[in-house]
Amino acid sequence: NPVREDDGWRLIQCPDHSDAAVPVGSSSCAAAYRGELVVASGRPAQVATASAALRFLADASDVEHWHHAAWRRLPDLAHARVGGALVEVEGKLYATGGVDERSGEFFNDAECLVQGVSPEEASWRPVPWFKMPRALHAHTCIALPTLAYRGSPPDIEDFCTPNGVGT
């Protein structure tokens, strides 16, 4: 708890037992996104395409409950991305690179989490304009500040659509 200097590491507790209901693997990638910790892919193979989000239920100033949290399931990725990276850019969450350990295929592309009107309508969609120079796993991504555009900037919604910028 950052409020108490004498408080050390503490395990997160899920009063709703969502930690048992939502599968999360090891060797996952993670990023902070919209007030949650999003985790995607990982080992074992049963969770290779899974993604989930963790939200703390209490403020850090709540001495007794600050470490209480709840998991929620997010849609599955299109590809297993063990050793991939998650990054938020301009309010969108992207999963990049990684490897499908079942097939041995390494990826040089990205998927974008697209929120629906309801949580059930959310999905990970391919980002057709994004390609890394080579396929990578065990990498990280960092979002840089937005660069200036000539003319008007593209609509941010175009970055996750098949007919968006760069297609």
- pTM confidence score: 0.80
Q: Are 18 and 72 in contact (CB under 8 A)?
A: yes
Q: What is the pLDDT of residues 29-51, one digit of tens each?
A: 999 999 999 999 888 888 899 99
Q: Is 22 left (phi over 0), alpha (psi -120 to 50) or beta?
A: beta
Q: What is the pLDDT of residues 70-84, one digit of tens each?
A: 999 999 999 899 999
Distance CA 68, CA 54 (A): 10
